[in-house]
Structure 1
Amino acid sequence: MIEQIYVGIDLDENEGLTHLGRIVRDAWVFSILPESETCAGWSGAQMQSLYEKVYAAWEPYAHLPSRLPDELREKHARLYEQAIINAKKKGWDTELDEDD
């Protein structure tokens, strides 16, 4: 079995607006990782460990950005808004199709 390695948020699809990219971006929100860390080359085990840390960080806020304290909510908005703007410029379609 071939171990899958994460390409890094900067090379991920749709400006990193994927499951793994969101884990990385949320790790930035909670300062689990510095914003300079793209996670390029990380193994599945490393990404799972990061997911668990991010999940735990979200728990006090019921996994809802609206429940974050002001500072974290503003950081979340900044990080996600820029990614969404960039992804749309590159043709990302936010409409769900029948398979979504």
Structure 2
Amino acid sequence: MKSKIYEGIHKQEDGAMTPTANVIRDAWVFGILPEDETCEGWVLQGIDALYDKVSAAWEPYGHLASNLPPELRERHARIYAAAVERARAEGWNPELGDDD
């Protein structure tokens, strides 16, 4: 059985506006991963383990960015603003279609 390999956050379609990319961005916010780690070449088990670490990091804040302390809230805002800007430049449209 061949393991699925993640292409990396900067190689995903539609500007990487996916749950996996959000886990990576959140890992950047909490300092679990350095911001230059794209997770390119990671296997699914590695992404799953990262999800567990990110979920545990969010727990004290109720999984809400508004509950983050100022330093983390500012980092979150910066990382996600850049992600939205990049995604829009790559053609991502946040509007839901009739089939969504």
Contact 2:6/2:42 (CA < 8 Å) preserved in 1?
A: yes
- Matching residue's letter, 2:23: I
- Count residues in correspondence: 100
**Aligned: 1:35 with 2:35:** yes
Identify if the C-alpha distance between structure 1 residues 93 and 2 changes in structure 2 by more than 3 Å, giving closer, same or farther. same
Tell me the TM-score normalised to structure 2 length.
Answer: 0.93
**Aligned: 1:50 with 2:50:** yes
CA distance in 2, matches of 1:14, 1:81: 15
Deviates more, 1:68-77 or 1:4-13: 4-13
Report the alpha carbon displacement of residue 63 of structure 1 after superposing the two structures with TM. Answer: 0.6
Q: Percent identity?
A: 53
Unmatched 5+ residue regions in structure 2?
none
Measured against aligned partners, the alpha-carbon deviations of 1:21-78 in whole angstroms (never above 9, x if no partner) come to: 1111100000000011110000010000000000000011111111100000000000
Secondary structure of the residue aligned to 2:10 is coil
Unmatched 5+ residue regions in structure 1?
none
Report the alpha carbon displacement of residue 10 of structure 1 after superposing the two structures with TM. Answer: 1.1
Higher relative contact order (CA 8 A, sep 6+): 2
**Aligned: 1:14 with 2:23:** no
Tell me the TM-score normalised to structure 1 length.
Answer: 0.93
